[in-house]
Amino acid sequence: MDGTSVHFTETHLRDHLGNTRVVFGYKNNSLLVKQVSSYYPFGMNIKGLTTQVTIEEAKHPANEYLYNGKMFQDELGLDWLDYGARMYDAVLGRWHGVDPLAEKYRRWSPYNYAVNNPIRFIDPDGMDPRVFINGDASEEAMEQLKSSTKNLVLSRNEKTGQVEIIGGEAVTDDEKQLMAAITDETVNVNLRAGESNKVDKDLPNAGGVFTGGAYLGTKFNEEDKSVETFQQVNTVALDKMDEIAQKDGAGILHEVTESYEAGKLSQKYGKSSIISSDKIGRRAHKKATPQPVSENDFSTTRINGRTIIFIGSTPINYY
């Protein structure tokens, strides 16, 4: 190039693992397929099924963000993929750095990628997922969480409730905050999902009343500085809030990230948090992703002995 800045637009078509499969560009106001990529399961490029137009034809350098959406590094002929935390060799299907959880996964090589199951999993940083969604409405809550992101592919273990990122990459700030919550091994986010507006008896602040979600505190472990967090949501109310605001999944995303941020604040201050009105709860609420509707939009009225909660003219909950 001549040293001047060049701006161009590309569109990437990706699969469920975040692998870049097709790259579209524009040339003379016409759509141009610039790159088609196919991969073996562990990420090595299938040359016979891969095409790349020349730089002269495309007028711009080739896209280098390929398998899992990670940058292909061909310096020194190594042909590694840069995951940020570690470098990955798709020819070997192995990392060039030890898995940070090698002691936990003793049956696997400390250099394994995605516990040898790259069709289902990705392994962005070697960490275990740490968000758990359980309760009678856990499936509804998980669907809402999936709808909150366009670029991350999420999955949930039905037995444990553990949420995993199985594909894609975090692009927006909200997605990066969600990814941090899921992959941070020092904070366990425990979210109970149901259709009740009262806190369950076995949770902190049992019997308390809430609208869409309730922050129920954190438990700080002095020995290893890890934190357990507790949150309960009403999926029906959250769904109504999302619908009114026209923001898919914003309610559940706020509840997950609020609980996670409370956990990080508990680590910072070295103590547990008991109720939402304490310093940790208030700050976590502000640090979390935005709620679909402002607290100022809520109103209440008494009808036949019950308190009805409204957003505008729409009733969303009662107690």
Over 90: is that where the pLDDT of 247 sits? yes
Same domain, yes or no: 55 and 189: no
What mean pLDDT comes out for the span 186-208?
Answer: 89
Same domain, yes or no: 169 and 263: yes
Same domain, yes or no: 68 and 138: no
pLDDT, residue 143, reads 97
Assigned domain for 116 exists: no
- Give the model confidence (pLDDT) of 112-157 as tens digits: 888 788 876 777 666 666 899 999 999 999 999 999 999 999 999 8
Over 80: is that where the pLDDT of 54 sits? no
Over 50: is that where the pLDDT of 175 sits? yes
Same domain, yes or no: 143 and 249: yes
Assigned domain for 216 exists: yes
Same domain, yes or no: 139 and 67: no
Same domain, yes or no: 54 and 202: no
Domain region containing 18: 11-72
pLDDT, residue 207, reads 79
What mean pLDDT comes out for the span 286-308?
Answer: 78
Assigned domain for 91 exists: no
Query: Is pTM, for the whole model, over 0.75?
Result: no
CB-based contact 213:137 (threshold 8 Å): no
Question: Which residue among 27, 52, 72 closes a domain?
Answer: 72
Over 50: is that where the pLDDT of 18 sits? yes
Q: Structural domain tally of the chain?
A: 2
Same domain, yes or no: 65 and 135: no
pLDDT, residue 1, reads 44
Assigned domain for 44 exists: yes
Over 60: is that where the pLDDT of 319 sits? no
Same domain, yes or no: 201 and 314: yes
Question: Which residue among 72, 96, 116 closes a domain?
Answer: 72
pLDDT, residue 212, reads 86
Assigned domain for 123 exists: no
Same domain, yes or no: 44 and 177: no
Over 70: is that where the pLDDT of 302 sits? yes
Same domain, yes or no: 137 and 66: no
